């Protein structure tokens, strides 16, 4: 299934997304005046968009099923910026003839780059292109997140010292000055590289678990657990 040009302010319903794209889920449908029939969908859902997609994903299930393939270039008539390339005139007239080869390429991308991979982004992007694209897609909440990471978060290699994911989301929501709704915070953090997972914690008497974030902090080459700064901590 292929969806093109998602509107900038459109919100994708997470349960619909998962139902279509999840090979373990089932869809119920019926013909006119007929009985319900359950079947397992077999779709590779391909979303093509010029803006970051906004998914109503409270439980994180959609994120676990989604991989991002960045097309780092904008194709324009007169390229100037690092992320711009020369537009091919008349390319739309060739779409129909190229459908079969495009579908074959998508299957290869899924098999080689996406299947059983844990990474969210699967293609490396040149730094100058990445910076140009980030500037073009910048939103006010992103600047707030940069301030929040610098002022309120620290990295730790111990799960016991990490703040819970819920505490981090709540703190960032309070720092956003109403730029985001509370239900959006989880998705926005995910888009900016905050990976949530369940980790075991050793207590004095028994083992417990908690949901924590890991993140690659500026100046670091590897991900670390996230903790909120203590009161008075520099």
Query: What would the two tokens of residue 111 be?
Result: 């098999």
The answer to whether 163 and 212 are in contact (CB under 8 A) is yes
- Alpha helix (H) ranges present in the chain? 14-21, 61-64, 95-109, 127-136, 140-152, 165-175, 185-191
pLDDT at res. 44: 67
The count of C-alpha atoms lying within 13 angstroms of the C-alpha of 60, restricted to the half-sphere facing its C-beta, is: 15
Confidence of residue 58 (pLDDT cuts 50, 70, 90): low
| CA distance linking residue 77 with residue 214, whole number of Å | 41
Helix (H), strand (E) at residue 12:
strand 11-13
Q: What is the per-residue DSSP string for 164-224?
A: BHHHHHHHHHHHTTTSS-GGGHHHHHHHTT-EEEEEEEE-SSSEEEEEEEEE--TT-SS-E
Residue % of the chain over a pLDDT of 90: 20
**Lowest-confidence region among 36-50, 74-88, 196-210:** 36-50
The single-letter DSSP state of residue 162 is S
Query: How large is the average pLDDT for residues 77-100?
Result: 85
Q: What are phi and psi of 226, to 5 degrees?
A: -110, 135
> For residues 123 and 173, which has the higher predicted lDDT (pLDDT)?
173
How many CB atoms within 10 Å of residue 101? 9
> For residues 118 and 141, which has the higher predicted lDDT (pLDDT)?
141
Alpha-carbon distances of 69 from 65, 120, 169, 177, rounded to whole Å: 13, 8, 26, 32
pLDDT at res. 43: 66
* pLDDT tens track for 141-185: 999 999 999 999 999 999 999 999 999 999 999 999 888 888 889
| CA distance linking residue 150 with residue 138, whole number of Å | 18
**Which residues fall within 8 angstroms of residue 77, CB to CB, at 6 or more apart?**
87
User: Roughly what angle, to the nearest 10 degrees, separates helices 165-175 and 140-152?
Assistant: 120
The answer to whether 155 and 224 are in contact (CB under 8 A) is yes
Q: Which of 153, 179, 177 is nearest to 165 (CA)?
A: 153
Q: How much is the pTM?
A: 0.55
Q: Which of 192, 177, 182 is nearest to 144 (CA)?
A: 177
Confidence check: pLDDT of 217 > 80 = yes
């Amino acid at each position: 299934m292929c969806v093109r040009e998602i509107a900038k302010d459109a919100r994708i319903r997470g349960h619909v997304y998962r139902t279509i794209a999840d090979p373990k889920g089932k869809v119920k449908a019926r013909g006119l005046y007929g009985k319900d029939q359950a079947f397992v969908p077999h779709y590779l859902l391909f979303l093509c968009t010029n803006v970051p997609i906004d998914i109503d994903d409270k439980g994180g299930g959609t994120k676990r099923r989604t991989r991002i393939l960045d097309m780092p270039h904008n194709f324009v008539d007169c390229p100037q910026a690092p992320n711009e390339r020369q537009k091919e005139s008349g390319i739309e007239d060739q779409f129909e003839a190229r459908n079969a080869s495009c579908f074959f390429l998508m299957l290869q991308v899924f098999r080689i780059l996406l299947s059983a991979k844990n990474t969210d982004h699967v293609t490396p992007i040149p730094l100058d292109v990445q910076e140009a694209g980030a500037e073009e897609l910048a939103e006010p909440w992103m600047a707030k997140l940069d301030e929040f990471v610098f002022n309120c978060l620290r990295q730790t290699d111990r799960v016991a010292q990490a703040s819970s994911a819920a505490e981090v989301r709540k703190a960032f929501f309070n720092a956003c000055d109403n730029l985001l709704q509370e239900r959006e915070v989880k998705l926005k953090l995910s888009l900016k590289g905050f990976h949530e997972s369940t980790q075991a914690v050793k207590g004095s008497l028994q083992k417990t678990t908690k949901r924590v974030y890991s993140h690659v902090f500026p100046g670091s080459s590897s991900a670390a657990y996230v903790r909120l700064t203590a009161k008075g901590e520099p």
